[in-house]
Amino acid sequence: MFRSRWLDRLTRVHPSVPAILFIPFIAVMATRGVHRLEWGPALVWIAGGYALWTLTEYWLHRALFHFEPSSGIGQRLHWMMHGVHHDHPNDPLRLVMPPSVSVPMAALFYLLFHSTVGPERTPALAAGFATGYLAYDMLHYAVHHAPPKTRLFRFLRSLHLRHHFEDDHAGYGVSAPYWDHVFGTAFRGRRADD
């Protein structure tokens, strides 16, 4: 993808890397959230963070990853960010978000949470949000490389593969396909698991 080996390595990542980076972060944030808020309120904020992630996943995929500039540096950046995944959907090292993107993005969301909900609620919200992100990344890898064994997994896999090979203007919700129904981008016609 790049002439520079260094740049190419920044965009390729083993699927275990998000778990290695984010499980400790989630554990620390959840612990801080419970410490600052007590169990009940912390669990509500964690669940809210997870729900917020699902909405963020949908809109990042739809508005950012599928925004396609017609030329220039924007076109190249789009291809590096998401186009390469559509061109090579089974490349196992390009299915999860590289830390060069996920870590700065996590820091930006943490700062956004801190400025909007305050320091007491931010750890719990961030724990739920990061849990949603990690679930999404692992599910995204799995739908491309794991054999489907459950009806739910077959359904999610079918939806995502339809997004890749049938209509990339529908099916933006990888881990939360219900947002496609809410925003009118669900697949029309036959069911995904048919």
Helix 99-117 to helix 122-145 angle (10° resolution) is: 150
Q: Where are the domains of the chain?
A: 5-148
Is it the case that residue 95 has pLDDT exceeding 80? no
To 10 degrees, the CA torsion angle through 63, 26, 93, 149? -90
Mean pLDDT, to the nearest integer, of 166-190? 87
- Range of weakest confidence among 2-6, 71-75, 81-85: 81-85
Q: How confident is the model at residue 99 (pLDDT cuts 50, 70, 90)?
A: confident
Mean pLDDT, to the nearest integer, of 148-152? 90
